[in-house]
Amino acid sequence: MPIRIRKDNPGSGNGSKKTYKTKTSNSSSGGGLGSGIGGALLPLAMNLFKKNPKVVLILVVIAAAVYFLGGSKMCSSENGGGNALSALFSTGLDMDQEVYDKAEVFEPLADNIKNPLPEKISLAEYCPKRMNQGQQGSCVGWSSGYAARTILFSKATGENPNNVAFSPSFVYNQIALKDCQGTYLQKAMELMYNSGALPFSKFSYNENDCGKQPTDGQIREASKYKTKGFNRLTKDGNNYQVDLLAIKQNLSQGAPVVIGMMVGGTFMSNMNGRSLWTPTNKDYSQSGFGGHAMCVIGYDDYKTNEEGAFQIMNSWGEQWGDKGLFWIRYSDFEEFTKEAYGLYPMGDAQKFSSQRLSAKIGVVINKSAKYIPFEYAGGMTFKNTVPLIVDEDFKIEITNSIECYVYVFGEEKDGSSYTLFPYTAKHSPYCGITGTRMFPRDYSLYPDETGKQDHIAIVVSKQKLDFNKLNAAINASSGDSYEQKVYATLKDELIEDVSFNATEGLISFDCDTKQKNAVALVLELSK
């Protein structure tokens, strides 16, 4: 009989399904500092003051008139505030759950005990100079292309970020919606993965025009700077609440996180020279707020007296915030952030291995937190030396120190194969954020009373595999045993002569890939 699965706790895990659909428009701006009287007037006044101080006086008079003739009412209205001046600004980020749902969900590491996180992390040293996107709603290009892609490259190469900064326009211009009115973060993630990015020095920014498209030569050059991938950092496939632990795990390993956040109110009107955004009661209503894309670059668990906070890079120039950066408390971040994308790490200038594959695998009993001991049984199979107890919950623990992809399959009672992980097509098998993971997340496996043994296959690969095709191939195999079926399916991918070590309940390996791709093993679980 196959291993069964059940939820760990009815009150935890997936939680309620949270849906949202925020479409930015000219009356709900966020990408270019553009919702609300104060938010609209501040950057415009600062820019115009340098050119013509008299114009600022005119704007102040207009703003005062709008406020006293109905502006204050508009700011608290259902349709949002600042409509009288919103035409001066473009929007920046469109958010749609259907689009967001296209991204695979990150599988986070286990709790902070098995994967202790540092108390604080900052990628600020890898950030390029904070520039101002101006009147164009191109925050998606600035947060993903200019900020995140530059951080990844600077960290991987050790180069000065200002010397290797990437162009926001190369990304934004190719995915901008009609009339340059914003775009989706998902599109930016896909473009950087499929097409790459181009250095700022080779594709300039013009806030008044997003029509310029890259040449064939520029597209070829950009392909050298493709990202390795991305995933969304949410609680689950159908729970779209941002996962704070997953975000911290990404940051702790040098991976920036690009977010979509609702902004307005004091975020726009009262942040010059301030390092911490503390929302007011009115801000929490989010009336008149719009979507804005930014890049999370750090966290500090003791930043404020009350709780920790995230550090974020904006694209409104260095006069805003603390030289273009700001902090936001964890609880406020969770309140205002609607989307979060983690980019796969690109390695480190000091250490990076592309030719090795390594992992430790164990079966952990939930109640005792102890490992079930295994012994090598020949071929790819390991047998437990202490039987599992019927109906006792357990999880599979996998620890990796080198980036890889992980897949888990099980054998049905009729000998057919089924997929245990990824749980669904929405979940990512990528384990680039290295450490210990417990499978399944928020659920547990348990043996039922039927039969004497079950089989689970674990595949660790350097490259991404199509797990649906892989499972179908296992089912189509004519092997006599589950091990033979798995081997026949993967034999062209499998690394030869892998040396396994089974001690203290953990099965481990560390091998050179030798131009091959994967390591597989089968756990024969007696009960």
Which tens digits make up the pLDDT trace of 461-475? 999 999 999 999 999
Largest CA distance in the chain: 87
Q: What is the CATH number of the domain that holds 171?
A: 3.90.70.10
Domain boundary among 343, 374, 398: 343
Domain boundary among 319, 343, 367: 343
Is the sign of the CA dihedral 185, 238, 410, 489 positive or negative?
A: negative
Q: Are residues 75 and 132 in the same domain?
A: no
Residue 419 belongs to what H/E stretch? strand 417-421
- Tell whether the model's pLDDT for residue 28 goes beyond 60: no
In this structure, is residue 419 part of a structural domain? yes
- pLDDT, residue 305, reads 82
pTM: 0.80
Q: Are residues 461 and 492 in the same domain?
A: yes
Domain that holds residue 459: 353-526
Residue 199's beta-bridge partner residues? 166
- Counting the structural domains of the chain, the total is 3
Q: Are residues 322 and 411 in the same domain?
A: no
Contact 438, 396 (CB under 8 A): yes
Q: Are residues 124 and 261 in the same domain?
A: yes
- Tell whether the model's pLDDT for residue 111 goes beyond 80: no
Picking from 328, 338, 334, the residue whose alpha carbon sits closest to that of residue 299 is 328
Q: Are residues 207 and 334 in the same domain?
A: yes
Q: Are residues 358 and 417 in the same domain?
A: yes
Q: Are residues 439 and 293 in the same domain?
A: no
pLDDT, averaged across the chain: 84
Q: Which of 111-125, 259-273, 313-327 shows the lowest per-residue confidence on average (mean pLDDT)?
A: 111-125
- pLDDT, residue 65, reads 38
Q: Are residues 128 and 239 in the same domain?
A: yes
Picking from 361, 377, 378, 449, the residue whose alpha carbon sits closest to that of residue 413 is 449
pLDDT bracket for residue 224 (50, 70, 90): very high
pLDDT bracket for residue 354 (50, 70, 90): low
Picking from 137, 116, 114, 108, the residue whose alpha carbon sits closest to that of residue 34 is 137
Q: Are residues 363 and 275 in the same domain?
A: no
Which tens digits make up the pLDDT trace of 425-455? 899 999 989 999 999 888 899 998 888 899 9
In this structure, is residue 137 part of a structural domain? yes
Report the distance separating Cα 447 and Cα 94, nearest Å. 46
Q: Are residues 296 and 375 in the same domain?
A: no
Q: Are residues 439 and 313 in the same domain?
A: no
Report the distance separating Cα 84 and Cα 63, nearest Å. 9
- Tell whether the model's pLDDT for residue 137 goes beyond 70: yes
In this structure, is residue 375 part of a structural domain? yes
Domain boundary among 343, 365, 390: 343
Picking from 142, 161, 157, 175, the residue whose alpha carbon sits closest to that of residue 258 is 142
